[in-house]
Amino acid sequence: MQVWHRSLCQIAERTTLGYRLNRARPALLLLSASLIPVIILAAAIGWLFVAEQRRALDDEVRVRAETIATAVQRELNTQIQLLSVIADSPRFDLPISRSSFAETARRLRERVPAWDQIRVSDEAGNVVLALPPLDPSASRRVIDVESHDRLLKSQEAVIGNVVIGQKGQPAFAIRVPIERKDRLRAVLSAIVRPAMVTDLLRAGLPDTWPAWIVDGQDRLVASTGAADLAGTVESEYARLSAADAGSATLKGGDDLHIAEATLKETPWRVKVGIPVAEYDRLARKALLLLVAGCCFTLLLAGAAAFLLQREVNARNRERESVANWQRMDALGKLTGQAAHDFNNLLMVFQSGIEGIKRRRNDEQRVTQLLGHMSDGVAKGKVITQRLLSFSRRSNQGAAHVELELKLSDLKPLLRQALNDAVVMDVNLPDDLWPVYVDPAGLEIALINLLTNAREAMPNGGRVIVSARNVPEGVVEDPTLRGAFVALSVTDTGKGVDPPDLTRVFEPFFSTKENGRAGLGLTQVHSFARAAGGAVKVSSLAGRGSAFTLLLPKSNATRVPKEGTNTVLDLPKTVLIVDDTPASLDSVRLALDGFVQTILTAASGAEALAILRSHPDVQAVISDVMMPEMSGIELAEVIARDYPRLAVVLMTGYSDQLEAGANVTRPVVAKPFRNEELAAALTTEQSKILQLSNVVRLDTSSRS
C-alpha cells in the first residue's frame, strides 16, 4: 500500500507541475510575442540611425576637405595673380636693374609678409637675382628643379613642391614666367613658408578633427597638429591604411576616417580626418537608445503579461478547484477500489487460515482453502503490478516474449476484461517477431486496452487484437529506430472526439461518464515508453478506435511452439539472505525438501561471513532492499570475490530496479511460486557452470 500511495503521489505531483507550467504559458507567449518584433524593429532603427549619422559625418568631412581646398586654391591664385602683375612690370624688363629689383622686392616683402624670398632665375635654373641676397658660398641652382622645369614646359604659373632649403627651413615656391614679346625671358619666384596655408586649415574646423596638405610628391605641406613635420613624407604625420583608402592613423596612434580633395590647378591634396571614436560614440548612443527602448517595451510587456496573468489566474481558479476536486475524487475512487480488492484478498486469507485451523484433518477442505489462498496471491500480485505500472519509467523485468504464445495463455484472462456482449478476435501472423518487453506490464496494458474498448461499447460490439511486423519503426513514429512489432487493439465503439485524441494518455483524463479514475491508458503509455517503443491512437467518430503498441523486436532465439519439460537441477547448498524474518523463513520453507542444506543470513555482511566459512555454498538467494548493504551491492561483491557462485535476487519493490538499474542477475518478484524460484536458480547455476567451463587462451604468447 505504501508503494501504491507513493506512485499515486508521483503522478499527482507531475500532473500539478505540468498544470502550473501550462497556466503560465500564455503570459510567456505574450511577453515573447511583444518583445521579439520590438527588439528586431529597434535594432533595425538603431542600425539605420547609426548608418545615417555616419553618412552625414562622411558628407561633412568631405565638404570640409573641399572647402579647405577651395580656400587654399583661392589664396594661391591670389598670390599668383599678384606675382604675375609684378612680372609684367617694366621694372622687370631685361636687363633687370639690380638696384631696381632690390627696391621692388623689399617693398613687396613688406606688403606681403608670407613671401619669405623673391628670386629671378634664368631658363637654365640659375638664380640671377634674390632678396635677401644669396650667400657667396651658396649654390646658385634653384632647389625645386621639378617645378621650375614644369613652368618652362607649360610657360604658365605653377605652385612648387615643399622642399627643405639650405638653412633647413621648409618652403614652397610660387613661380610665374617673365615674358616679353611672347617669349619667356626669366622666371619670377616667391618663396613662401607653409604657415601661410596652416591658418586656412584651422578655419572653421573642429578642434578634434586633424587636417593636412600634401604636395605632388606626397610630402607634408602643412598640418593642424605638427608644423615641425612640414617638408617630410606624409607617413611621418599620418599612415594611410592599405586595405581602406578612407582610413588613416595619426603618428600619435589615433585612428581616423578621412576625406580628400584635390586642388584644381596644382597636384596638392587636402585631407581632413574625423576620429573613429566619434563614430563609435554614435554607435554607443544608438545602443543606449535601443536599450532604453527595449527596457521600456519590456516594462510595458511585463505589465501587460502581469495583467493577462491575473486575468488568466482569475479565470482558472474555478477551473483549478474543479480539477483538484476531480483528481481527489479519482484518487479516492482508486483508493477505495484498491482497498476493496485488497480487503477481499485479506478476507480470503483470513477465512482460509481459520478454516485450516478448524479442519486440519479434512484434507479435501484444506486443499480447497489453499487453492483459494493461492488464487488470492496471484490476484494480489496482479493488483500490485498494475499499481506500480502507472509510474514505472524503466523496462525492469523485460524479457523475450513470444506474442502468439503469450496471448494464447492470456486469452482467458483477457476475455474476463470484456463482457458477454463483446466478441474478441485474435489475429496474429505465423511469422510474427518476438518482442523484448516486461511480460507483466504487457499483460496489464492489454487488460487496460480491452477494458477501455469494453467501456466504449456499452451495447456490445467486436474487439480485434492483431499484430504485424514493422521493419523500420521510424515509419510509424519519427522517434523510433530499428525493428518493431505493432500490436493493435481495435474496437467498434463510439470513438474518440478529435480534440480529445491528444489527451487520452493524460493522467486522470477520461471521456467516460462512469467516474473512473482515467489511469488505464496512462499505464499503457508509460509501459510503451519504458519498453523503448510508443503507442498510437486513431479514431473515427461513431465507428470505433484503434490503439497500436509499437514494441521493440527481440533479438533472442525464437522459442519453439512445443517445448519439452525442463528438468530442474537445484544446487545442494543454498544461502538465503533477507532482513525480514518472516520472509526469510518463508523462502527457507519453500526450498525445504528440494535443497539438501539451507543457510540463512539477516544482512549482507553476515552473508559474506558465511560464504568465507562455508566454501561449499553453491547459490545465494538475496532480498534486494536491505539496510547497509542492498542485495544488488551484495551480488556485485559476490561476482568479484566468488565468480562461480550463482546469485538470484528477490524483491517486492526496489527504487533501484524501478529506476532502471543494470542488474545481470535474475530477479524474481514477490510473491513468487516455488517453481519460479527453482527455475531461476537452475538457470543461473547453468549459466555459471557454462562460464566456468570456458578456457581463455592467452593470445599474447605464440609458440
- Looking at residue 30, what is its pLDDT? 62
- Looking at residue 471, what is its pLDDT? 93
64-97 confidence digits (pLDDT tens)? 888 888 888 998 999 899 999 998 988 888 888 8
DSSP letter at 504 equals T
Instruction: Give me the phi and psi of 293, to 5 degrees please.
Output: -65, -40
Q: Report, as an integer, the average pLDDT of 574-578.
A: 92
Class level of CATH domain 16-314: alpha beta
User: Residue 232: pLDDT above 80?
Assistant: yes
- Looking at residue 157, what is its pLDDT? 92
Which residue ranges make up each domain of the chain? Answer: 16-314, 392-552, 573-692
* CATH architecture for residues 573-692: 3-Layer(aba) Sandwich (3.40)
Alpha carbon of residue 232 to chain centroid? 58
- Looking at residue 658, what is its pLDDT? 62
User: Residue 620: pLDDT above 90?
Assistant: yes
Average pLDDT, the chain: 80
CATH number of 392-552: 3.30.565.10
Sign of dihedral through CA atoms 86, 91, 93, 96? negative
Least trusted range by pLDDT, from 33-42, 272-281, 427-436, 544-553:
33-42
Please give the biggest Cα pair distance in the chain: 167
- Looking at residue 19, what is its pLDDT? 47
Comparing CA positions, the residue from 540, 559, 548 lying closest to residue 446 is 548
- Looking at residue 273, what is its pLDDT? 87
3-state secondary structure at position 647: strand
Confidence at 654, pLDDT banded by 50, 70, 90: low
203-214 confidence digits (pLDDT tens)? 778 888 889 999
Helical residues (DSSP H) of 88-220, grouped into ranges: 98-111, 145-154, 195-202
Q: Report, as an integer, the average pLDDT of 139-164.
A: 90
Model pTM above 0.75: no
- Looking at residue 331, what is its pLDDT? 59
Least trusted range by pLDDT, from 5-19, 236-250, 287-301, 461-475:
5-19
2-56 confidence digits (pLDDT tens)? 444 444 444 444 444 454 555 556 656 666 666 677 677 767 776 777 677 778 7
356-367 confidence digits (pLDDT tens)? 777 777 777 778
- Looking at residue 20, what is its pLDDT? 53
User: Residue 386: pLDDT above 80?
Assistant: no
Confidence at 661, pLDDT banded by 50, 70, 90: low
Q: Report, as an integer, the average pLDDT of 171-191.
A: 91
Spatial separation of the C-alpha atoms in residues 688 and 693, rounded to whole Å: 9
- Looking at residue 495, what is its pLDDT? 81
CA distances from 160 to 80, 189, 192, 263 (A): 12, 10, 10, 13
DSSP letter at 553 equals B
Q: Report, as an integer, the average pLDDT of 618-624.
A: 91
- Looking at residue 330, what is its pLDDT? 54
CA dihedral 95, 100, 104, 105 (to 10 degrees): 70
- Looking at residue 332, what is its pLDDT? 61
Tell me whether the CATH fold assigned to 16-314 matches the one assigned to 573-692.
no
User: Residue 589: pLDDT above 50?
Assistant: yes
Confidence at 701, pLDDT banded by 50, 70, 90: very low
552-565 confidence digits (pLDDT tens)? 998 865 544 444 44
88-137 confidence digits (pLDDT tens)? 988 888 888 888 888 888 988 888 888 889 999 999 999 999 988 888 88
Radius of gyration of the chain (CA): 52
Environment class of 561 (CB within 10 Å of its CB; exposed 0-12, middle 13-18, buried 19+): exposed
Tally of CB atoms within 10 A around 313: 13
Quick one: what percent of the chain has pLDDT higher than 90? 17
Cβ contacts of 124 within 8 Å, gap of 6 or more:
none
DSSP letter at 90 equals G
User: 574 is written with which cell numbers?
Assistant: 543454498
User: Residue 489: pLDDT above 90?
Assistant: yes
Instruction: Give me the phi and psi of 667, to 5 degrees please.
Output: -125, 125
Environment class of 211 (CB within 10 Å of its CB; exposed 0-12, middle 13-18, buried 19+): buried
Q: Report, as an integer, the average pLDDT of 627-656.
A: 86
User: Residue 699: pLDDT above 60?
Assistant: no
- Looking at residue 432, what is its pLDDT? 92
